[in-house]
Amino acid sequence: MASLSYVLSHSSHLLSPQTAPPVEFSPKPILYSHSKCRQPISLFRSKLHRMALVCQRARRGSQSKKICASIADVSLEKSTENVQLPKGDVWSVHKFGGTCVGSSERISNVAEIVVNDDSERKLVVVSAMAKVTDMMYDLINKAQSRDESYVSALDAVLEKHKSTAHDLLDGDELASFLSQLHHDINNLKAMLRAIYIAGHAMESFTDFVVGHGELWSASMLSAVIRKRGLDCKWMDTREVLIVNPTSSNQVDPDFLESERRLEQWYSKNSSKIIIATGFIASTHENIPTTLKRDGSDFSAAIMGALLTSRQVTIWTDVDGVYSADPRKVKEAVVLKTLSYQEAWEMSYFGANVLHPRTIIPVMRYDIPIIIRNIFNLSAPGTMICRQPVDEESESLVSFVKGFATIDNVALVNVEGTGMAGVPGTANAIFGAVKDVGANVVMISQASSEHSVCFAVPEKEVKAVAEALKSRFRQALEAGRLSQVAVIPNCSILAAVGQRMASTPGVSATLFNALAKANINIRAIAQGCTEYNITVVVRREDCIKALRAVHSRFYLSRTTIAMGIIGPGLIGSTLLEQIKDQASVLKEDFNIDLRVMGIISSRTMLLCDEGIDLSNWQELQNERGEVADMERFVQHVHQNHFIPNTVLVDCTANPDIASNYYNWLRRGIHVITPNKRANSGPLDQYLKLRALQRQSYTHYFYEATVGAGLPIISTLRVLLETGDKILRIEGIFSGTLSYIFNNFTGDKSFSDIVSEAKQAGYTEPDPRDDLSGTDVARKVIILARESGLKLELADIPVENLVPEPLRASASAEEFMQQLPQFDADMTRKRQEAENAGEVLRYVGVVDVVNQKGFVEMQRYKDDHPFAQLSGSDNIIAFTTTRYRKQPLIVRGPGAGAQVTAGGIFSDILRLASYLGAPS
């Protein structure tokens, strides 16, 4: 103060009429005339007056003595009646933030809420209007920087409040408010001019300036309520709240002194409705100060504690406290209740909850804090209290309340054999960290004491590492410490819940969710209270990890993002089946399937929230983009809030199948009826299966053999339960099954092929079916599943396409010439019939002799293979358990419906593996 006064007193020539606007000091006290008790800030006011008078002396000279006399002569209005302050449940405390009082309309809404509260007594804490506090700080910054635009900036502050007052008030209330507003603005101009000259503002001056926003909003709101005919007083909390500044840029309330001053204030200003300023307070020396970060919330909590109110309601612009950041997890839910400890933990980790210090005052009296949305009064909000008891079930959701993250941290790992059993090592490590002023966010140490790992903000890690290397230089050179390692680009994920304590399975579920989302954990920490489990992951994995654990605890048991490749006949049928069954799966089985993308050979349709399957074809026509497989995969896998991703390949394209290995490596599950990958080169197949077994990523391909029939799964069950496969024999082609089931009587072979083609059983070119290649691929898949290391070229195939027709130019030419070769097939059929047998086209896996083949064989009329009809498939498993009577699997083996059904079955099996109920 002295330095600023010195500058002012020696710079009167600068305060000319051209550079400083006239400041009229009224004979009233410089602060609000509505207040009755001003003793707490009298010392600061006298300093402020002295500074302001120095400013005026440049313009008025001898008038200063008169002004000083007029101020000194003003006596504070004394109440003739002392009223005792009631306490307890009769009071409810409300706090309205800047957004809530950001306009005249919103101030009216606040008044409506206050009036409609049926509590016997109400104390309402208000912040400055939205952005006003920032505007006031900007005034200080401009003045300190000697930027003369502070004058116009202050005029903008004046206009904002002036126009708001005109909207809300009239008559004497409007005149009184505007008079005080202009008075304050004039005095602020004088103070800012002094700061402009000095080039510096003391903290007390800054706090005094920025606190005016709260004074004005409280004054306006109280006037609006009085306009409704209710008795209402407003409180300058600098006269009541007394705090002690601390070294950590915070303040500690002095509850005893604040309670004494509150009782004194109330004895002169009794009312059932009190509007109090938030954010501002005074020191014991009566110097104005602020409550720092989240100061208005803190004000409300302190006032609630002083009054021992029944509750404190914090009004904001969200429906309550969310289970996770809704900007990162779009399906985060509003929590009904939180304990004080849970709110502490979540706020520490950056969640949008009250600052921990806000909770401390109300905890003393078990006063609940309710977070509510002023823009959605129907939402009940979140209650923060001692011990929530309204959980409806003993589910894991009731144990884990929420998840929060801290980004941009780095791990520091100090390790070495010389650390084990050496007292004082941890003290030396964290002493060095303290010396550089770094904040340790998390600490983890194994019981072996071989290493200590801790997390610090990334911007501080360089200084920390240098300090540690300097502190332990001798130990590092001697080898007692092996390294001081920095792991950058990390994020912290915390799971919070008071009821996690002593509850088995919570940690297992958390880590399982991360593992299944292919997230690597770099460090773990958990305190003995068990309220918090903290893990460190790579920064790029943070959001995915957050979504993974939130999905596991809060969404359906299993939420899966799907990308459909190839929306042809099978793909479109699958989409229709998913659409018809989606609601049942979600409601009855907690399986939530989201199709995030559909791609064909030319176009793709992408959606961040999930495609509406009722009109996906129209959407593809309207919003379809040029197909780009890498972008498609990137979108489905990362650009949404679902941790589990599956790509469903409904094509027969070998190029797409070649991507499976890389997709699985990226943590993307793969489901397909495409036989190309499993029947391709043996080394690639073995590599693919090895990767599948080593990771939590699944690769399902039931529909590659037998469409919707459980062929692969039956074979695996037999093997996994210790049975030994001897032989697999079957009719694997629905097309060839149909042809030979109907190749009877006087019908020619070419007629049956033509009939099958017209019925849609064959490929567009029937030679693709008659060649036997498709059956050979199925045989090689089953052979490899049985443990045989065979290549497709090792499977001899009887080709039913006459050799002269294999080079036909087109399918039409082939069909025209096929009748020329009917005689041979007719002869074979007749020979079989004469022997009481039928012709069937089969594939065989001979495990005993380690071979496979595809050929046309004859079976007795009573053989199961002779009993087929239509396009049914049939497969016989001969094993050590089923040696005398093979295990038979029979059913439709072709058609879009059954093939899509087989794919859908794999999708549900994946959901079960990921945690859905069986």
Token pair for residue 833?
Answer: 């019939």
Token pair for residue 154?
Answer: 């202050």
Which among 829, 857, 826, 859 has a CA at the least distance from the CA of 842?
Answer: 857
Residues 6+ positions from 576 with CB-CB distance below 8 Å? 613, 900
The Cα 306–Cα 263 span in angstroms is 10
Residues β-bridged to residue 405: 493
Which among 599, 694, 613 has a CA at the least distance from the CA of 647?
Answer: 599
Residues 6+ positions from 646 with CB-CB distance below 8 Å? 560, 561, 562, 563, 668, 669, 670, 671, 907, 910
Residue 395, classed as helix, strand or coil, is coil
Compute the chain's Rg from CA coordinates: 40
Please state, as a whole number, how many other Cβ atoms lie within 10 Å of the Cβ of residue 241.
Answer: 30
The Cα 219–Cα 276 span in angstroms is 9
Spatial contact of 86 and 121, defined as CB atoms under 8 Å apart: yes
Q: How far out from the chain centre does Cα 765 lie? A: 51
Active site residue 778: yes
Q: Which strand ranges, in their side-by-side order, compose the sheet holding 603-606?
A: 625-626, 603-606, 591-599, 558-565, 644-649, 669-671, 699-700
What single DSSP character describes residue 334? B
Spatial contact of 602 and 571, defined as CB atoms under 8 Å apart: no
Give the H/E segment covering residue 348: helix 340-348
Burial class (CB in 10 A: 0-12, 13-18, 19+), 75: exposed
Spatial contact of 52 and 68, defined as CB atoms under 8 Å apart: no
Q: How many residues does the chain have?
A: 918
Catalytic residue among 78, 87, 778, 789: 778
The Cα 902–Cα 912 span in angstroms is 15
The Cα 454–Cα 534 span in angstroms is 12
The Cα 78–Cα 81 span in angstroms is 9
Token pair for residue 552?
Answer: 């596991």
Burial class (CB in 10 A: 0-12, 13-18, 19+), 520: exposed
Token pair for residue 372?
Answer: 């509510």
| Phi, then psi, of 369 in degrees rounded to 5 | -110, 130
Please state, as a whole number, how many other Cβ atoms lie within 10 Å of the Cβ of residue 790.
Answer: 18
Residue 420, classed as helix, strand or coil, is coil
Burial class (CB in 10 A: 0-12, 13-18, 19+), 493: buried
Residue 522, classed as helix, strand or coil, is strand
The DSSP code sequence of 727-759 is: EEEEE--HHHHHHHHS--TT--HHHHHHHHHHT
Spatial contact of 435 and 408, defined as CB atoms under 8 Å apart: no
Which among 725, 859, 705, 716 has a CA at the least distance from the CA of 775?
Answer: 705
The Cα 444–Cα 447 span in angstroms is 10
Q: Report the alpha-carbon angle 400-402-407, nearest 5.
A: 130
Active-site residues, by number, are 778
